[in-house]
Structure 1
Amino acid sequence: KDLVEKIRSRTGVYLGASLSAQNAWLIMRGIDTLFPRLRTMSASAMQIARFLAKHPKIRSVTYPGLESHPQRALATRQMDVFGGVLTFQTDAPQAMAAQLADRLRVAHYAF
């Protein structure tokens, strides 16, 4: 009982004792469209990854959906969709970053 009370008191401080009605409603509303959004995000990431993989200024692309990914077989067994995160490398990262910053019109901070 003492251990449970200790855990419960700390959890409430860091995570919140319970969801507010508004947060619960937002989560339930978003669950309905989660899978279609994930599918669309994954399809977009795959298109971008394939485009970048063929681009002459890109050295390498890391995305589990690409055939060139070293763990693609594992990813295929574990995932229905490969997600929206990919990375790429270029031979001139500073120049590419400066060019991206100059040409970018809308930037959104995501966390």
Structure 2
Amino acid sequence: MLTKEQMERYGAMESYIIILIDRKNFEIQSSGRKRCKEAMQTQRQINQLMEEKREVEKELERIPNLRIRTALIMKYKYRYSWKAIAQKIGMGDTEDSIRIAVERFFRKGE
């Protein structure tokens, strides 16, 4: 069951993974034993985040309601506004109706 907190964290993961990869590359390019050890620690962080991201994506795939799944991805991964989500999904949704449906999903654990 996905929580709002997991989805908010998921939205930030992609950017943070990119930052960590850049840091790891810098650490590798810098010489010295200390930098090598730091690069290994950074790679462990990257691996952990990638695994967490895969778990959230598996949970998203399990959501049978395509409307809710799409809204969650658009809101938390791509940072769309509720208005933009409602316009893209269509189906007569307003920004309030789609936001309320997602809030209900989090409350009920649909």
Q: Do both proteins adopt the same fold according to a TM-score greater than 0.5, normalized to the shorter chain?
A: no
Bigger strand share: 1
Q: Which has the larger radius of gyration?
A: 1
Higher relative contact order (CA 8 A, sep 6+): 2
Bigger helix share: 2
